[in-house]
Structure 1
Amino acid sequence: MSVLGIDQITFGATDLARCRQFFLDWGLTLVEEAPQALTFESLNGCRVVVAHSDTQGLPAGVEPDPTLREVVWGVDSAESLARYRSRLAGQPGFVDGDERVGCTDPNGLAIRLQVTKKRPVQVESALTNTWSERRRVNQRSPAYDRATPIEVGHVVFFVTNLKATGAFYTELLDFAVSDRYPERGLFLRCAPEGGHHDLFLLQPPEPRKGLNHVAFAVRDVHEVFGGGMHMSRCGWSTELGPGRHPISSAIFWYFESPAGALVEYYTDEDELTADWQPREFTPGPTVFAEWAIKGGIDGNTRRQVNAPAPSGKFMTDKPKPPTE
C-alpha cells in the first residue's frame, strides 16, 4: 500500500475574510493569499485551501457551500501514482495532470492523488507517567497557549451509498477497514500500519451527502486543551469537547467552522497493524463519546462555559456548614 495520508484539502466558501481569521486562530500558517483563494499550511506542509465558491475550475461540491470540495491524498512514489492512474482511468470525472491524477468517488467528491509533498517534522510531545511506567522524571508536562496543528489527520463524510463508497476506497485505493457500524459506517485507514482512521464514511438513517468534519492532529492532549481554549478566547463556538472517543481512544475538541461543518483538534488515537481485527459497534452517544463537555471550556475562566470564574481562593477555603 502506498497512500500515506491527506496532502491537501480544498474548501469552497464565500466569506474568505472570516475563514482567513479562523484558520489563523486555529494555528495554520498562511502561505499564499489571492483575491479568490487562501492557502494555509500545517507544520508538516499539509495544505488547506479555501477558495471562493465561484472560482473557475473548482470541483463541484456534494452539498451547498461552504463545504469541502476536494481531498488530495499523498502517495509514496511516482511508481505508485502510475499504478493508481491505471486503476482510476475508467472512473467518473477522471483527470490526469502533470502531478496529479484523480476522479470523483461514488459519493460525488473530487479526490486526487499526488506524490506527497509533506515534509517530516520533529516535535516534542508530552511524556505520560502511568502507574507502571514513569517516563517523565524531573520534568513538568507542557502547557500550550494555542495549538499548531501537525497535519490534517482525517476527514469524515456523510454518504448515501456506504457499500459503493467503501468499496471504492478499499478496492481501488487499498484502504484498510479499522472498525464498522454495520450498514451505517466505516472507519478506514490508508495502510495496515497507522492511526485508527484517515477517512470515516457515515450513512445516516436518512441518507444524505455532506461533510461532517475535518480533523487536525496535534502533538498531545495538552495541545488539544490549549488550542481549544485559545479558540474560545478568540470567540469561536465549540460544538462539542473536550472529550474522548472510545472507538479510537482519541481526545478531541470540535469547533464550528466558517469553511463548512466542523473542525477538530485530536490526539492519542490508537495505532493499528495488519494484525488488527475490525470490530462492530452500534451507533450511540456513549459510543461516539465516552465523555464530553457540551459548549467547551471558556478560555478566560478556564472553566466550563457559563460556569462561575475561579475566585482566587483555594477550593478548601469554604466556610464550614453550621453544626446543630
Structure 2
Amino acid sequence: MPIRKPNFTPPFNIVRASHIEFDVRDIAKSRAFYVDCLGYLVTDEDKDSLYLRAVEERNHHSIVLRKANDASIPALGFKVASEEDLDRAAFWFAHKGFPTSFPDVPHQGRTLRTCDMFGMPLDFYFRMEQPECMLRKYAEYKGARIQRIDHINCFTPDVQASYDFYTDLGFRLTEYTETDGENGQLWAVWMHRKGNVHDLAFTNGRGPRLHHIGVWTASSLDILHICDVMASSGFLDNMERGPGRHGISNAFFLYIRDPDGHRVELFTSDYLTVDPDHEPLRWSLQDPQRQTLWGHPAPKSWFEEGSVFTGVPVREPVLEAQPIVAR
C-alpha cells in the first residue's frame, strides 16, 4: 500500500470543501429538519429549492435542498483560489478525458462541473454571492448553532485509487486506516486542503456514494444541546450514532439522518494540520478506538448505508475487509 508524498504544486488550487446539493422528496419536511431543528439560516428559497448557510458562513449557501422524485446527490462543491484556477481545472479534467461544462448555477459565479474517475459529481467555483455576515448576530444561533461546513465523506469502491486521484489534486493525507499484515491495504483515508483533519475522506464500500457531510460546531456542548432538541421535537429517531469521540481526527461527534436518509455529522474539536511536514497517522482496521475512542461502536447502517449520486452507478468494493461493527 503506497502512501505518497504530498503534492505541493497541484494543477490548480482547491481552497476547501464548500457546499453540497441534496435532492429531497419533501421540501417542507427537509425545512423542518435543517432550519427549525438544526438551526440553518435560509438565504433564499422558491417552491422547489431552499438555500441554507450556517452562522459563520459568508457564502450564499453551503447546503442546497431541491425537490425531486428520488433522494440523491447532484453535486459536491469545492471553492478554488481564483478564476484562473477554474480554467486550469477545466483544462486538466478535459485533458484527462473527463466531461466538463460550465452550467448556469444560481447564486454562484462561473462554475465548472465535472466528475472523478468513479463518476462522483464535482463542482468547482471561485466566487459566490455573499449576504450579510451573521457571525455576531447571536439571536440567530439556534438548534445546533452550526458554524460552517467542514468536510465531505464518501464511500469509494477503491480507496487507493481515490487517494491517488485526489493526491494529484493537492489533497494532503492526515490519517488513514489500513489492513494488517505484510501487504496492508488502504481501507479509509482523511485528506485536507484547508489545514484541519479533512475536507474530503474516503471509506471502503459500495460506491461512489455519499457517506456524510460534516458540519462544524463551536463546542461539544452544542452537540449535546441538539440531542435534547431532537429528542423533544420529533427527531429522536433521526439520531443514528453518538454522541461520542472518534480516535481518528479526535472529533467529538453526532451522526444524524435527515428525512430522506442523507447523513450529517455534527463535528468539533479536531486539530491543526497546516505544517508541510505533517506526518499522517496510521490506524489498524482492527483497532477498536479507531472509529470510537469512547462511546458505542458504529451500527451496521453506518458502514452500509449512503446516498447515491444522481445518475451514477454504484460498484462493489475491490477490498474485502471487515471493520468492527456494533452487535
Q: Secondary structure at the match of 1:281?
A: strand
Letter in 1 for 2:99: G
Q: Distance in 2 between matches of 1:164 and 1:249?
A: 26
Tell me the CA shift for residue 253 of structure 1: 0.9
Q: Percent identity?
A: 22
Q: Distance in 2 between matches of 1:162 and 1:256?
A: 24
Aligned residue for 2:265? 264
Name the structure with the higher helix share.
Answer: 2
1:83 corresponds to which of 88, 95, 98: 88
Q: Distance in 1 between matches of 2:50 and 2:176?
A: 36
Alpha carbons of 1:99 and 1:242: their partners in 2 closer, same or farther (altered >3 Å)? Answer: same
* Count, aligned residues: 261
CA RMSD of aligned residues (A): 2.5
Determine if the alignment matches structure 1 residue 53 to structure 2 residue 68: yes
Q: Distance in 1 between matches of 2:280 and 2:71?
A: 33
Letter in 2 for 1:281: W
Q: Distance in 2 between matches of 1:27 and 1:254?
A: 16
Aligned residue for 1:274? 276
Determine if the alignment matches structure 1 residue 188 to structure 2 residue 202: no
**1:187-237 deviations in whole A, cap 9, x for unaligned?**
11025xx11011110113xx4432211111111222222233222222212
**1:263-290 deviations in whole A, cap 9, x for unaligned?**
1111111111222111221224421011
Aligned residue for 2:241? 240
Determine if the alignment matches structure 1 residue 113 to structure 2 residue 113: no
**1:112-138 deviations in whole A, cap 9, x for unaligned?**
1111438697958xxxxxxxxxxxxxx
Q: Secondary structure at the match of 1:292?
A: coil
Tell me the CA shift for residue 33 of structure 1: 2.1
Q: TM-score, normalised by structure 2?
A: 0.72
Q: Distance in 2 between matches of 1:123 and 1:281?
A: 37
Q: Distance in 2 between matches of 1:154 and 1:145?
A: 21
Determine if the alignment matches structure 1 residue 175 to structure 2 residue 171: yes
1:66 corresponds to which of 68, 71, 79: 71
**1:78-123 deviations in whole A, cap 9, x for unaligned?**
2222222221223423113560113111232210111143869795
Aligned residue for 2:23? 12
Q: TM-score, normalised by structure 1?
A: 0.73
Q: Distance in 2 between matches of 1:38 and 1:145?
A: 18
Letter in 1 for 2:257: E
Letter in 2 for 1:200: A
1:94 corresponds to which of 89, 100, 108: 100
Letter in 2 for 1:283: L
Gaps of 5+ in 1: 55-64, 125-143, 296-324
Q: Distance in 2 between matches of 1:149 and 1:89?
A: 37
Q: Distance in 2 between matches of 1:259 and 1:95?
A: 29
Query: How is 1:121-132 mapped onto 2 (pairs within 5 angstroms)?
Result: none
CA contact (8 A) 2:93 2:99 kept: no
**1:117-176 deviations in whole A, cap 9, x for unaligned?**
38697958xxxxxxxxxxxxxxxxxxx8732212111111111122222222221x2111
Alpha carbons of 1:114 and 1:166: their partners in 2 closer, same or farther (altered >3 Å)? Answer: same
- Which of structures 1 and 2 has the bigger CA Rg? 1
Alpha carbons of 1:76 and 1:18: their partners in 2 closer, same or farther (altered >3 Å)? Answer: same
Query: How is 1:182-261 mapped onto 2 (pairs within 5 angstroms)?
Result: 182=178, 183-191=186-194, 194-204=195-205, 207-236=206-235, 237-261=238-262
1:290 corresponds to which of 293, 299, 305: 293
Tell me the CA shift for residue 255 of structure 1: 1.0
Determine if the alignment matches structure 1 residue 158 to structure 2 residue 164: no
Q: Secondary structure at the match of 2:250?
A: coil
Aligned residue for 1:316? none
CA contact (8 A) 2:246 2:292 kept: yes
Aligned residue for 1:21? 32
CA contact (8 A) 1:7 1:117 kept: no
Q: Distance in 2 between matches of 1:10 and 1:259?
A: 13
Q: Distance in 1 between matches of 2:110 and 2:142?
A: 38
Alpha carbons of 1:29 and 1:292: their partners in 2 closer, same or farther (altered >3 Å)? Answer: same
